[in-house]
Amino acid sequence: MEGSYEKILSKLSKVSGIEEGEIDRRVEAKRSKLSGLISREGALQVIAAELGISFDNEKLKIDELLPGMRKVHFSGKVITVYPIRTFTTKSGEEGKVVNMIVADETSNIKLVLWDTNHIKMIEDGTIKEGVSIEVSSGNMRQGEVHMGSFAELKLSEEKFPEVKTEKPIKKKDIQEFNVGDKVNTRAFVVQAFDLRFFNANIDTGRKATEEEVSSGVPTEKRAILNVVIDDGTENTRAVLFHEMVQKTGLTEYEDEQKMKEQKNNLLGKEFVFGGNVRLNSYFNNPELIVDSVDEINVERLIDELDI
């Protein structure tokens, strides 16, 4: 499946008149010059800027939106509107924010509304689940589109009979990870940290509050495992919860010696990890929140290589 990088590469090639292969070569040269500290998508935008080409307010499909884009322009169908939340600023003023999910036929994305005029459209029912909207001058931030007072939000007459309600899963090398991606990647475990545990509410699966524990709500002990995975292009921290921890082979929570052996056996093992890429605010680095772990299927790999 063609990804966002390939689609923007194709657009840039058509606008600039430069062959895709040459632009791709410049992207890799730019990444090499910056010691790989920039993604392919980020480098592509730098190349576009150097060519004097901007995608500001050019109408794009949702799966063509790239990290760092400003003044993004797209349309989609509202599939989820979350409750309005209030917050207090450092100056003591009260504000509101609304999160919603907007989808088209290619993908979906979280839209974050900060402006009171936009939020009023939620409050009075103008914008609700099922309607089509058009967004202009939104700002891509950590895989989301944020709407400030200079952004434009309005109803659209465009129809979206079929939309992507799930994030398309992209097979990506770790060096290509972008915050907000839902990915599959084949990688080795090169470091495993000590397990941490918490008591979870059996009904909700979330960490039980002190009130829930004291009132006798049924809980169970669950594990969190942080590992570092490496696919040869780069490494990243990955976070696994409970069932995903057990899928790696760590099951002996009560026997410290066996747990140590299982953790040591995990090092160097290769898996296909799936999950969502998010920004770790403490380390200010992307990390993978794992929601699937699969052993390497040799026969499937041979089929994919078409040997």
Question: Can you give the CATH number for the domain in which 59 is found?
Answer: 2.40.50.140
Q: Are residues 68 and 47 in the same domain?
A: no
Parallel, antiparallel or unpaired: strands 144-147 and 132-141:
antiparallel
Q: Are residues 178 and 233 in the same domain?
A: yes
Q: Are residues 185 and 257 in the same domain?
A: yes
- Mean pLDDT for 190-219 is 82
Strand partners, 274: 184, 292
Burial state string for 128-138 with b = 16 or more CB within 10 A and e = fewer than 16: eeeebbbbbbb
- Among 145, 165, 185, which residue terminates a domain? 165
Q: Are residues 63 and 153 in the same domain?
A: yes
Query: Confidence band (pLDDT; 50, 70, 90) for 300?
Result: low
- Name the residue range of residue 219's domain: 170-305
- Mean pLDDT for 96-125 is 95
Q: Are residues 243 and 139 in the same domain?
A: no
Number of domains in the chain: 3
* Nearest-5° Cα angle at 11, 132 to 141: 55
Q: Are residues 64 and 153 in the same domain?
A: yes
Choose between 138 and 297: higher pLDDT. 138
Q: Are residues 289 and 190 in the same domain?
A: yes
Q: Are residues 9 and 86 in the same domain?
A: no
Under a CB-based contact definition with an 8 Å cutoff, are residues 30 and 51 in contact? no
Cα separation, 116 vs 180, in Å, equals: 26
CB count in 10 Å sphere of residue 254? 8
Cα separation, 38 vs 32, in Å, equals: 9
* pLDDT higher than 90, residue 73: yes
Compute the mean pLDDT over every residue in the chain, rounded to the nearest whole number: 87
Under a CB-based contact definition with an 8 Å cutoff, are residues 260 and 280 in contact? no
Query: Confidence band (pLDDT; 50, 70, 90) for 283?
Result: confident
- Mean pLDDT for 283-287 is 84
Please tell me the pTM assigned to this model.
Answer: 0.63
Candidates 266, 229, 236; CA nearest to 251 is: 266
Strand partners, 81: 100
Amino acid at 180: G
| pLDDT of the residue at 301 | 53
